């Protein structure tokens, strides 16, 4: 049983903790948080041992009526491995704390690639993290791009990737973020950092990315072009993507037109927190023009990296191989949204009136 500590219990950390708790070979040794807000409260209600991430804040938890089991050092001591889910740029301050206690750690994609020995995507480079002490799970966007690039590269070869990322500006709970009525080129200089980040996983893939921020909170949207080294038809591409356990191809019949209905579908399907761990590719968008593949996909920024963190733990501290780890993670979380509708479906839509 792997004892996993979670440092930072926010959007990502709380999901990592729940995913760890769902695995047959892992347990949550505790979660660390800086302040006693609603998330700290639900951590206690979920039965996780709560640690004060900043020692002199322990009193604030006590004042709020929440018992803490100790500080960050105690959490590290109770853990075989720590998943660091602190906000970006806190990781570099934390790494020496983990090193001092000879404890391996996983960082998130908001940190620079140099925080860790390896950048990680389970589908693409699982073995690179084998026995590594410090690993970085790449960001939600890089994760999603890697999941599409891996099978295309293997099956057809890739000449060039070009992506426009229309990113959500903040998570639903991040009420301080803007814009509320603009679309920002972000960064305005081209290319964005996403292409180089993909190259931490696929060093040899030629990729240019452009990024925008839109006034939405639910999901990122990618407009993707991949120039392939051969010219498969659309049906072959759909079959290839449908075979990937962490890609969901949205069938036309489902009548899902954006992130609102996608999230509604996830909630209807009983997903915890309405999470969509899979890339969501609109089947109708998949098109080939000569060697050029085009598609739209949505990416749930709060959750698509969660199964990747679980697989990274196994790569680092077990001898389980990639396929077995991915299967085990998927089964424990029920990753792999499958519609009863056929993604190849092209029936005419029924008039909408309910």
For a second copy, the binding residues (CB under 8 A) are 8, 10, 14, 33-39, 41-42, 44-45, 53, 57, 60, 63-66, 86-87, 171-175, 180-181, 217-218, 253-258, 260-261, 263-265, 267-270, 272-274, 339-342, 345, 347, 350-354
C-beta closer to a second copy: residue 217 or 225: 217
C-beta closer to a second copy: residue 167 or 263: 263
Least distance (Å) from a second copy to the CB of residue 55? Answer: 14
DSSP codes joined into one string, 6-71? EE--SHHHHHHHHHHHHSTTEEEEEEEESS-SHHHHHHHHTTPPEEESSGGGHHHHHHHT-----B
Please identify which of the residues 85, 86, 140, 280 carries the catalytic annotation: 140
139 is in an annotated binding site: yes
195 is in an annotated binding site: yes
Least distance (Å) from a second copy to the CB of residue 109? Answer: 17
- Asked if 306 and 12 count as a contact pair (C-beta separation under 8 A), the reply is yes
Least distance (Å) from a second copy to the CB of residue 353? Answer: 6
Phi and psi at 133, nearest 5°, equal: -90, -30
C-beta closer to a second copy: residue 43 or 138: 43
Angle of CA points 210, 203, 123, to nearest 5°: 90
3 is in an annotated binding site: no
C-beta closer to a second copy: residue 42 or 235: 42
Judged on CB neighbours under 10 Å (0-12, 13-18, 19+), 199 is: middle
Least distance (Å) from a second copy to the CB of residue 261? Answer: 5
301 is in an annotated binding site: yes
DSSP codes joined into one string, 167-194? EESS-TT-TT---SS--EESSSSSS-TH
Residue 103 makes CB contacts below 8 A (sequence gap 6+) with 76, 79, 80, 81, 82
194 is in an annotated binding site: yes
Helix (H) or strand (E) holding 260: helix 259-268
- First-to-final CA distance of the chain: 50
Least distance (Å) from a second copy to the CB of residue 152? Answer: 27
Residue that the structure tokens 């949505």 belong to: 298
Angle of CA points 62, 63, 68, to nearest 5°: 15
Alpha carbon distance 129, 146 (integer Å) = 16
Least distance (Å) from a second copy to the CB of residue 267? Answer: 4
Token pair for residue 188?
A: 């305005």
Is residue 140 annotated as part of the catalytic site, yes or no? yes
C-beta closer to a second copy: residue 63 or 114: 63
C-beta closer to a second copy: residue 59 or 289: 59
* Residues acting as catalytic residues: 140
Binding residues for D-glyceraldehyde 3-phosphate: 139-141, 194-195
Binding residues: 11-12, 110, 139-141, 168, 194-195, 301
Binding residues for NAD(+): 11-12, 110, 168, 301
């Amino acid at each position: 049983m792997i004892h996993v500590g979670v440092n930072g219990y926010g959007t990502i950390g709380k999901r990592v903790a729940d995913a760890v708790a769902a695995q047959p070979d892992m347990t949550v040794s505790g979660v660390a948080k800086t302040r006693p807000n609603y998330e700290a409260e639900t951590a206690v209600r979920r039965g996780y041992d709560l640690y004060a991430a900043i020692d002199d804040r322990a009193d604030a938890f006590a004042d709020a009526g929440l018992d803490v089991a100790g500080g960050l050092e105690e959490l590290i001591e109770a853990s075989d491995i720590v998943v660091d889910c602190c906000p970006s740029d806190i990781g570099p301050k934390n790494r020496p704390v983990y090193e001092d206690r000879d404890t391996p750690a996983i960082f998130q994609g908001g940190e620079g690639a140099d925080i860790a020995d390896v950048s990680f995507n389970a589908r693409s480079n699982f073995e690179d993290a084998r026995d590594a002490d410090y690993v970085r799970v790449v960001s939600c966007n890089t994760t999603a791009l890697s999941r599409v690039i891996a099978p295309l590269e293997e099956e057809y070869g890739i000449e060039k990737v070009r992506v426009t990322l229309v990113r959500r500006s903040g998570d639903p709970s991040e009420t301080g973020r803007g814009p509320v009525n603009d679309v920002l080129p972000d960064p305005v200089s081209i290319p964005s950092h996403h292409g180089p980040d993909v190259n931490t996983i696929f060093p040899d893939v030629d990729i240019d990315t452009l990024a925008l921020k839109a006034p939405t909170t639910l999901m990122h949207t990618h407009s993707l072009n991949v120039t392939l080294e051969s010219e498969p038809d659309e049906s072959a591409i759909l079959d290839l993507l449908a075979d990937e356990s962490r890609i969901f191809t949205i069938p036309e019949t489902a009548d899902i037109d954006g992130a609102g209905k996608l999230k509604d579908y996830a909630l209807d399907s009983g997903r915890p927190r309405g999470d969509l761990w899979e890339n969501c590719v609109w089947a109708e968008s998949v098109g080939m023009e000569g060697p050029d593949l085009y598609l739209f996909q949505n990416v749930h920024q709060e959750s698509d990296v969660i199964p990747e963190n679980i697989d990274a733990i196994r790569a680092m501290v077990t001898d389980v191989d990639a396929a077995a780890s991915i299967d085990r993670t998927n089964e424990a979380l029920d990753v792999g949204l499958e519609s009863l509708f056929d993604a190849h479906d092209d029936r005419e839509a029924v008039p909408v009136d309910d």
